[in-house]
A = this chain, B = another copy of it.
Amino acid sequence: MAIKVGILGSTGYTGAGLLGILLNHPDVEVSWLSSEKFSGWNISRVFPHFGGFLDIECLSVSEHPGKIPVNIVFSCLPHGISGRFVSKVLDKGTRVIDFSRDFRFGDAVVYKKLFKQAHQYEDCLHKAVYGLPELYREKIRNAALVANPGCYSTVVILGLLPLAANGFLTGGSIIADIKAGISGGGRAPTLSRHFSEVNENMSASLRTARDQEAEMKYRLSELAGSPVTVEFVPHSVPVNRGILATIYCRLNDETDYERIYDIYKTHYGEEPFVSLLSKGKFPGVKDVAYSNICRIGLALRGSMLVIVAALDNLGKGVSGQAVQNMNIMFGFPENEGLAAPPIYP
């Protein structure tokens, strides 16, 4: 029997991505959607591509949680706002996967230092599990609240995880140069994502996503057992979807390519959604488009390891990963609804 799902803030791109996957998921039934901006609209008026596939009206967030019982709520609400609604849903005993950063840092002290304000829902924070299955699969299984990782954090952590887990990052100097498609910035019109500004352009954003830089450092340090520093610079590239991370890592150890390659291969051998390319190969974002796969290629130049990792920001970067987490939480096959290959061209 299918589980029932509610989605808070369903009319942005992460909501569209999530709905697209859930509509194909054999064990899920979408019970309600919320949207403040499009409250009262049928979702297929908001997203005409869903016409004929989903016939359901968006509710105002104030109307529903609790009235229509569901097994799980996904919150696609903005940072800072999500927490309040998540805490309400949790209070009613419903499990939650939260897309915002509100519960990504397990520690209220860290949160306060970063965002210059106290965390408002510390009780919930203690329940939260960081939703990267490659790190916390077992904890996710029984979690009441899963904090879905940021897209940049996901790609950088997956790119470095085998190194961190094997003691290669201690004191290291890591640079993560990210190239990201535009949909990651969301659906709200802004000059910075206006077609004629973005198309045929590319630029660096040295001041955005500082929270995700903190997130990846926090998780990698936790894993490495000592502080890991990442210099993270995101760039805007005129494609709809996809994140390509080029990670430069000066290794401390005298090491060789074979050894590093084996560490990755062993670490990710069983992972259903992380794919290590064969030696000398590197992924493009089209090799993962519209899928939940993260592909990783490795090169060693002297003592500099260059890791190239690619994922779809609306797939493994957020909505796909959320469904992967849901599958784990409810005991479904981990790739249910996520088994289709990337789409090309």
Interface residue? A240 (CB, 8 A) = yes
C-alpha spacing A46/B16, complex, angstroms: 31
Whether, in the assembled complex, A206 has its beta carbon less than 8 Å from a beta carbon of chain B, the answer is yes
Interface residues on A, range: 35 or more
A342 in the interface (beta carbon within 8 A)? yes
Known: A189-B190, A233-B306, A288-B49. A54 touches B195 (CB 8 A): no
A window 288-305: CB within 8 A of B: 288-291, 293, 295, 297, 299, 301, 304
Interface residue? A199 (CB, 8 A):
yes
CB atoms of A20 and B341 under 8 A apart:
yes
Contacts of A242 in B (CB 8 A): 200-202
Q: Which residues of B contact A340 (CB under 8 A)?
A: 20, 23-24, 340
Q: Judge whether A179 and B235 touch: CB under 8 Å.
A: yes
CB-CB under 8 A from A277, the residues of chain B are 48, 51
Q: Which of A248-300 contact B (CB under 8 A)?
A: 248, 250, 275, 277, 281-291, 293, 295, 297, 299
Tell me, yes or no, whether A125 is within 8 Å of chain B by CB: no
Is the Cβ of A194 less than 8 Å from the Cβ of B196? no
Chain B residues, Cβ within 8 Å of A198: 195
A183 sits at the interface (CB 8 A): yes
Number of copies of this chain that the complex holds: 4
Quick check: A339 and B206 within 8 Å, CB to CB?
A: no
A194 near B200 with CB under 8 A, answer no
Contact A244:B204 (CB < 8 A) given known A20-B344, A54-B341, A175-B175: yes
With A53-B341, A275-B51, A342-B49 in contact, is A202–B233 under 8 Å at CB? Answer: no
Query: Least Cβ distance of A306 to chain B in Å?
Result: 6
Verify if A50 is at the interface (C-beta below 8 Å from B): yes
Taking a contact as CB atoms under 8 Å apart, the answer to whether A49 and B287 are in contact is yes
Q: Which of A150-205 contact B (CB under 8 A)?
A: 173, 175, 177, 179, 182-183, 187, 189-191, 193-204
**For residue A331, which residues in chain B have a CB less than 8 angstroms away from its CB?**
none
List of B residues within 8 angstroms of A197 by Cβ: 187, 286, 345
Beta-carbon contact of A199 and B308 below 8 Å: no
Give the one of A16, A183, A286 with max B CB within 10 A. A286
Contacts of A306 in B (CB 8 A): 204, 206, 231, 233
A175 and B248 within 8 A (CB): yes
What separation, in Å, do the CA atoms of A23 and B191 have in the docked complex? 25
| CB-based contact A202/B285 at 8 Å | yes
- Say yes or no: is A238 at the interface (Cβ < 8 Å to chain B): yes
Q: Report the nearest B residue to A342, measured CB to CB.
A: B49
Query: What are the 7 tightest A-B residue pairs by CB atom distance, in nearest-first order?
Result: A203-B284, A189-B189, A49-B342, A53-B341, A196-B345, A201-B286, A177-B177
Q: List 20 A-B contacts (CB under 8 A).
A: A13-B345, A20-B341, A23-B340, A48-B287, A49-B289, A49-B341, A51-B295, A53-B341, A179-B237, A183-B196, A187-B194, A196-B240, A200-B239, A200-B240, A200-B241, A203-B285, A203-B310, A206-B306, A238-B239, A290-B343
